[in-house]
Amino acid sequence: MVAGAAFCASCGKPATPAMAVVPPISSSVRSGLQSNVAGALCYVVGLVSGICFLVADPYRRDPFVRFHALQSIFLSIVSFVAYFVIGVLTAAAPYALSRLLWMLHSLLGLAFLLLWLFLMYKAYNHEQFKLPILGERAAKQA
């Protein structure tokens, strides 16, 4: 069926509005984000963005995005546990030791921030940088 034709070109029947030709959706609309951008965005909100990209339809089948989503989830869990343990130790420790633990907490936060930015940079550059334990586990499950 040719758009605007009064009759069907193959069978000769009169054209109806239901037979109108719909232009195809462009590939950029169907494909969504590129793998490297989606991989980098897996780290933006940590656990939440990792889960979102792990279950989102076009990305859950992409091994590159799955790897970064899983590594982001694992890293978020490890950072939460580390912050929780240091927080409990800080609350239970005497004042002088709690100040030292608070400084450790601040340094740990800076280290996680720098690691988070580094992993986003690597994912954006199409690289699968594997963290020692977490990256291996993420690679196996991706």
Q: What is the pLDDT of residues 52-100, one digit of tens each?
A: 998 988 888 889 999 999 999 999 999 999 999 988 888 888 888 888 9
**pLDDT for 39:** 92
| pLDDT tens string 110-130 | 999 999 999 999 999 999 899
**pLDDT for 3:** 59
Please give the structure tokens belonging to residue 15.
């054209």
The pTM (predicted TM-score) of the whole model is 0.71
Please give the structure tokens belonging to residue 76.
């978020």
How far apart are the C-alpha atoms of 111 and 130, rounded to whole Å? 17
**pLDDT for 16:** 66
| pLDDT tens string 30-63 | 457 898 999 999 999 888 999 999 898 888 888 9
Q: Any idea where the domains of the chain sit in the sequence?
A: 34-141
Q: Which of 12-16, 43-47, 100-104 has the lowest mean pLDDT?
A: 12-16
User: Does the pLDDT of residue 18 top 80, yes or no?
Assistant: no
Residue 25's pLDDT band (boundaries 50, 70, 90)?
Answer: very low
By C-alpha distance, which of 55, 59, 22, 21 is closest to 39?
59
> Position of tokens 């990792």?
50
